[in-house]
Amino acid sequence: MSARIVRTFLFAVAALVAATAPGAAEYPDHVVHIVNPYPPGGSVDVMARLLAQKLSEEMHASFIVETRAGAGGNTGAEWVAKSEPDGYTLFFTAPGPLVINPTLYRTALGYDPAKDFAPIALFGVTPLVMMVANDIPAKNLQELIALAKAKPGTLTFGSAGIGTTPHLAGELLKSMTGIDITHVPFRGTGPAMNDLIGGHIQIFFDLLPTSLPQIKAGKVRAIANAGETRPPGLEDLPTVAEQGLPGFSVTSWYGFVAPAKMPEPAKARLIAATEKVLKSPDVIKRMRDLGSEPGTAFGADFGTFMQAETKKWGDVIRKSGAHVD
C-alpha cells in the first residue's frame, strides 16, 4: 500500500471519528432526555415540556421530558450528574437540587452541583407574594412585624415543606427582622393555602400565579410582593424591600443544566438555542400566561447566579437550623 493511500485512509478515519464524536457539529442527532426531578403535572414539569417542545423545533431533533422524582429533587439530579456527559441527558429543575439541598441535607448528596453540572440557562423566574390570614389586623409589613414582636412565638407561617422557597422566605424574614414566628410545614402549597384561608396559620409566602385568585377573591390578604419588583397582577402592592427591608428578595426559578463534561461545541449550541427560544414572542407570552418571566442569564452568567443563590440560602438555612436527615 502506497504512502498516499495510507494517508488518505487515515484522513478518512479521522474525519469519521470527528463526525461521530460527542459534541460534533451534528449535535443533537438522536433523542435528548430532559430530566424533571419532581412529580408530573407540577410547574417544573409544565415548563420543562415547553422547553422540550421549543428546542425540538429549534434544533431539529427530539427533546423529551423524563420524570425521575424523589428525595426533594436529589434523585433526578444524581441521575443526570452520573449520566454519560454527551449532552443527551439534561436537567431541568426548581432551585432545590442546585442551590438549597447541599446545605439542607445532613447526609452527603450523591452529586455536587458546583462540580457536576454545566450551567445552560436560567429558564424562568416566578414571583412570590407574602400573605396573611384575614383575621390578622396587620395591613402592611411594618404592622405585621410589630404584631410579631408584641407576641413572640405565637404567629405561624406555612410552607410546602422544609427547604422549599416559601419556607426559606419565612426564615429570611425572621433573620432580617429578628421576629419569632413558627414554621409549619405542609405536604404541598394547597394544604397550606387552605389553612391560611381558615385562619389556622397566619402567614404564607407562595407563588403569585396560584395565590392571586385567593387574593382577588378576598380569602386572604396580600401584605407584600416578595421579589425585587412589582409583578403584573399586583402592581399596586409594595415589595418587602420597599416596606423597610432593603435587600429582601425571594423568587422561585427554573434552572437548566447539563453534565459538567458535556462537549463545549454541543454546550454552546444548546445555550444559543435556549436563548433563542426564550426570546421568541410565543414562548414569552406562554410563560407570562403561566405567571413567570423568561430568564436572562445563560452559561457562565447563570453559573454566577447559582453561586450567589447557594451562598444566600446556605446562610439562611444554617442560621435557621433547618435540615433534612
Q: Is the pLDDT of residue 317 over 50?
A: yes
Residue 4: its pLDDT value, please? Answer: 47
State the alpha helices, DSSP H only, in the chain.
Answer: 3-20, 43-59, 74-81, 101-104, 113-116, 141-150, 165-177, 189-197, 208-216, 264-278, 281-289, 300-320
Percent of the chain scoring above 70 in pLDDT:
92
pLDDT at 185 over 50: yes
**What integer pLDDT is reported at residue 25 of this predicted model?**
54
pLDDT digits (tens, 9 = 90+) for 155-181: 999 998 899 999 999 999 999 999 999
Share of the chain above pLDDT 90, in %: 78
Judge whether residue 252 has pLDDT over 90: yes
C-alpha span between 36 and 40 (Å, rounded): 8
pLDDT at 41: 84
- The cell 419565612 sits on which residue? 170
Which residues lie below 8 Å from residue 140, measured CB to CB, with a gap of 6+? 223, 224, 238, 243
Q: Are 252 and 240 in contact (CB under 8 A)?
A: no
Which positions ≥6 away from 130 have C-beta within 8 Å?
Answer: 141, 169, 173, 203, 204, 205, 222, 223, 224, 225, 226, 240
- Poorest-confidence range of 54-58, 146-150, 308-312, 319-323? 319-323
Q: Any idea which of 23-37, 141-155, 255-269 has the lowest mean pLDDT?
A: 23-37
Q: What is the pLDDT of residue 26?
A: 86
In angstroms, the CA 244 to CA 221 distance is 19
The closest alpha carbon to 318, from 163, 192, 214, belongs to: 163
Does residue 67 contact residue 40 with C-beta atoms inside 8 Å? yes
Instruction: Give the model's pLDDT for residue 93.
Output: 97
- Helix, strand or coil for residue 222? strand
Question: Where does the pLDDT of residue 7 fall: very low under 50, low under 70, confident under 90, or very high at 90 and above?
Answer: very low
Per-residue confidence (pLDDT) for residue 8, from 0 to 100:
42
**Given a cut of 60, is residue 15 above it in pLDDT?**
no
- What does the mean pLDDT of the chain come to? 91
Q: What digits encode the pLDDT tens for the residues 38-62?
A: 988 888 999 999 999 999 999 999 9
Mean predicted confidence (pLDDT) in 277-281: 97
Q: Is the pLDDT of residue 20 over 60?
A: no
SS3 255: strand
